[in-house]
Amino acid sequence: MFREYGTTLTRRLMSEIFKIPKIVPVNKKHCVTIDGEQHEVTLDKKLEVLQHGEENFMWKDNKLVLKPKPRSKTVHPVLKQAEKGYFFEQQDIHWPSDIGKGGLAWQIESE
């Protein structure tokens, strides 16, 4: 009755789907590219590399390891004992009360 909708064609093809032999899953190889070289790794390592990014890994002693994070080179002032410095009200750095000998001074210290 409704041949243009393909209901009889669909029924005929559905029986053929069940006759197709089951495909055996193939062992998939997982590869990552580190420093321009492609290496085969386990699925867990591949997922870890995808999470952190390929540029953050390196080969060390034939093992795939994360690159060490660069240390920050920030410079910030620190309160240190000085010859001449501030004295604070109730040890609150926002309320300097006096400047004198043996007080605290802001000095730049790098990490």
Would you say residue 103 lies in a domain? yes
Cα gap 107→76, rounded to integer Å: 8
Ranking 28-37, 54-63, 102-111 by mean pLDDT, the lowest is: 102-111
Per-residue model confidence (pLDDT) at position 17: 66
Domain boundaries, position 94: 75-110
Two tokens, residue 73: 């080179």
User: Which of 84, 90, 89 shows the shortest CA–CA distance to 107?
Assistant: 84
If one counts the domains in the chain, the total is: 2
pLDDT at 10 exceeding the cut of 70: no
Q: Who's near 95: CB < 8 A, 6+ residues apart?
A: 88, 89
pTM for this predicted structure: 0.47
pLDDT beyond 90 at 47: yes
The verdict on residue 15 lying in a domain is: no
pLDDT at 61 over 70: yes
Which residues, 6 or more positions from 1, have their beta carbon under 8 angstroms from its beta carbon? Answer: none
Q: Do 34 and 55 share a domain, yes or no?
A: yes
Tens of pLDDT along 69-105? 888 787 888 889 889 999 989 888 888 888 999 899 8
Average pLDDT over residues 2-21: 61
The helix/strand/coil state of 72 is: coil
Q: Report if residue 21 sits inside a domain.
A: no
Question: Which two three-digit tokens encode residue 99?
Answer: 């400047």
63: its two tokens:
């093992």
Whether residues 64 and 80 fall in one domain? no
Residue 61: inside a domain:
yes
Asked if residue 18 belongs to a domain, the reply is no
Residue 20 lies inside a defined structural domain of this protein:
no
Nearest to 87 by CA among 110, 73, 103: 103
